Amino acid sequence: MMELVICKNFCLIECGIDCKLISLYNYLFCLICLQKNMFIIDFDDTLFDTQSFKVARLGAVKELGVSDDVYLETYREARNSSDGLFTYSDLRHAEMISRRGFDKDEILAHLQTTTGEDLKDFLFPTTCEFLNGLKKYNETMVLLSLGDPAFQDLKVRGSCIDKHFDRMFMVDKTKEEVLNKLFEKNNPKNVWFINDKVQETLDLVKKFKGMNAVLRRSLNIDLHEYDSSGLPFFETLDEIEIYIRDKKETL
């Protein structure tokens, strides 16, 4: 219940409603909440097995004769717009594949077979236990995902993990903008940032000094990149939970 109040108060601040309009009690409560510690957690390849999801989608369009190469080439084309925004969605990928002579609606229907009820099957085996474990610290749970917002929202809600979060951000440009906003009122030292991308995390740790970062190793990224990053990284979410618990105990 408390998390709902926190979320509501955050929204009031973000909507620009003058705190003087809120009762003094609520205003003070706002300030306390804004200083609350946070977990900021990525979605793809951190909580969700995006690599297996891609394989399943390849399988779905292969039934219509789409080759591995065409799938991968069109995936890359669909992923970003010419101005660098993250734009991947079922529809955009179907459009790219249709330019190779396939029927767009058929491709779309086949891609959509993977974005229905089965989405939760692509969560890592211990994702829900991991999120429940973090919630025990009673810190604000923030999901921060980079990609086409509607498609990311579809995956997050479809895999039923939205209920674990107090706040969710899906952005198609950079995560930095969201962190800038969050850290206007919060000290990065109060924050744990859990992600899979090495360079993105290094850039953010450099910008938001003191932020605690920990990486879940993605099979899509070379092990050497993790090794040379100097950041803690782990194969599983269980190991990350243990690492965070140990670090918190020593603080």
Applying CB under 5 A, the residues found at the interface with Mg ion are 42, 44-45, 196
Nearer Cβ to Mg ion, position 45 or 166? 45
Nearer Cβ to Mg ion, position 172 or 196? 196
Nearer Cβ to Mg ion, position 42 or 166? 42
CB of 195 to Mg ion, least distance (A): 6
φ, ψ (nearest 5 deg) of residue 80: -130, 150
Q: What is d(CA 106, CA 7) in angstroms, rounded to the nearest whole number?
A: 41
Q: How far is CA 55 from CA 26, 51, 143, 220, 223, in A?
A: 49, 6, 24, 13, 21
CB of 198 to Mg ion, least distance (A): 11
**β-pair type (233-234, 191-195):** unpaired
CB of 216 to Mg ion, least distance (A): 9
Nearer Cβ to Mg ion, position 146 or 244? 146
User: Of all residues in this chain, which one has the CB nearest to Mg ion in the complex?
Assistant: 44
CB of 215 to Mg ion, least distance (A): 10
Q: Which amino acid is at 6?
A: I
Nearer Cβ to Mg ion, position 42 or 90? 42
**DSSP state for residue 124 in the 8-state scheme:** -
**What residue ranges in 45-184 does DSSP mark as E strands?**
140-146, 167-171
CB of 49 to Mg ion, least distance (A): 11
On whether the CB atoms of residues 168 and 191 are closer than 8 A, the answer is no
φ, ψ (nearest 5 deg) of residue 63: -60, -20
